[in-house]
Structure 1
Amino acid sequence: MSQTSTSSTETASSFGEATLAQYLTDLAAKLPAPGGGAVAALHAAQGAALVAMVARYTTRAKDADNRPVVDRIIAAADAARGRALALADADAAAFTAVGVAYQLPKDSPERLAARTAAINAALVEAARVPAAVVDEADEVLSLAAELFPIGNPNVITDIGAAADACRAAAASSQLNIEINVASLPAGESDRFAAVLVRIDELTARADALHADVVHAVRK
């Protein structure tokens, strides 16, 4: 999400209501949203869906001893999917708010001050949304790692795909956080320092889980 956009175009409907074809058409179009922030949120949602799918395939009779854990993972992954999907909509709204703030008048000291305050508030929200996507990716990745040792081996590669989706969600979110906090005063941008550090740790965990899945497939 770039702070330089001045468009106030909004998506016609939520990402949960759009067809995949329409989403990709809008993504490819010369429109301010959807963009990389929505893509990051949908990566997290897809990762959560993959975890839930593997868990649902791990409900065979032979999985009975692990059923309480599997059921908890299913519920948690489904909830994370819903939150991540909502964050795709939130990102589009935040992008629009940044553009609106930059369009505010600045022809007097009072209006300039109000415009600056509005821009900073919009940029904070535009960074908060991808930071929340990182939270979702982190949780989904933890669920994937927990499921990996007990998951149905016939669909274990989808655990690796989920890890990759979480990694993409976090790495893409990093870009959106960075570009928005770059224009914030130091006191405002500092609040995002911790999540940026977490992204490096998260991507390393995702890479490690991917490698574990590859190893399991090659055994």
Structure 2
Amino acid sequence: MISSESITDYLARLASRQPTPGGGAAAAVHAAQGAALVGMVARYTTGPKYEQYADHVARITTEADQLVVEALRLADADEHAFQGVIDSYKLPSGTDELKAARTAAIQDALVQAAQTPAQLITLAGNVVDLAAELFDVANPNVISDIAAAADAARAAATTARVNIDINVVAIKDGAARSRLAEQTDGLEDKVVLAADSLTKRVRERILA
């Protein structure tokens, strides 16, 4: 499981000639890193100098830590879901009945595999929102990490979008495709715009 292995082991598996983990899991790790960076900046925004923001920062810290846990859960879930797609393609198809059952299993697995990246885009948006909340009060010595968090979340969202797309194009059920479109279309654009805006604000403050 990605959530419990070393970064070295995870990267070795990611680089191997194996289908999992892949881009979906990597996207979730991007989001986890973004949330962790928000948590780090929040922890540096403490002490007497920031006492008036203590409750605000404490809440952000707690929420950032929760997002790390949830992002890693989604990394594991994505790996599991994609393995389900792979397994469904390996089902027997020697008879018409088996062929129909295999086709149905593949379609179900593809729909399920699109759910995890959809959830991840929402989570990535939450990371950017938290980083933006922290920006105005953050310790200026680590303000660049606000931008790093936003960029990590942006990468998570755009990568997750591609993983949704590659599953959707293989789904034959028009109703299922429509539901996924309603659930996800345009979501990553909001995350990208918010992340780009926040990164620009950080750079402007650094260079002012």
Q: TM class by shorter-chain length?
A: over 0.9
Whether 1:129 and 2:81 are equivalent positions in the alignment is no
Percent identical across equivalent pairs? 48
CA deviation profile, 1:11-53 (whole Å, cap 9, x unmatched):
xxx1122111111111111011111011100000000000011
Residue 216 (structure 1) aligns with: 205
Residue 186 (structure 1) aligns with: 174
Residue 196 (structure 2) aligns with: 207
Amino acid at match of 1:103: K
SS of the residue corresponding to residue 34 of structure 1 reads coil
Higher mean C-alpha displacement, 109-118 vs 137-146: 109-118
Give runs of ≥4 in structure 1 deviating > 4 Å: none
Count of aligned positions = 206
TM-score (norm 2): 0.96
- For residue 90 of structure 1, the aligned residue among 69, 72, 77 is 77
What is the distance in 1 between the residues matched to 2:30 and 2:167? 20
What is the distance in 1 between the residues matched to 2:184 and 2:105? 23
Shift of 1:132: 1.1
SS of the residue corresponding to residue 16 of structure 1 reads helix
CA deviation profile, 1:155-212 (whole Å, cap 9, x unmatched):
0100000000000000000110000011112211122224231111111111111111
More helix by share: 2
What is the distance in 1 between the residues matched to 2:46 and 2:169? 47
Higher mean C-alpha displacement, 43-52 vs 18-27: 18-27
What is the distance in 2 between the residues matched to 1:198 and 1:133? 10
Q: 1:1-219 maps to which residues of 2 (within 5 A)?
A: 14-184=1-171, 185-193=173-181, 194-219=183-208
What is the distance in 2 between the residues matched to 1:116 and 1:127? 17
CA deviation profile, 1:103-151 (whole Å, cap 9, x unmatched):
1122223222211211111111111011111111011110001110111
Q: Give ranges in structure 1 of 5+ residues lacking alignment.
A: 1-13
Q: Give ranges in structure 2 of 5+ residues lacking alignment.
A: none
Amino acid at match of 2:207: R
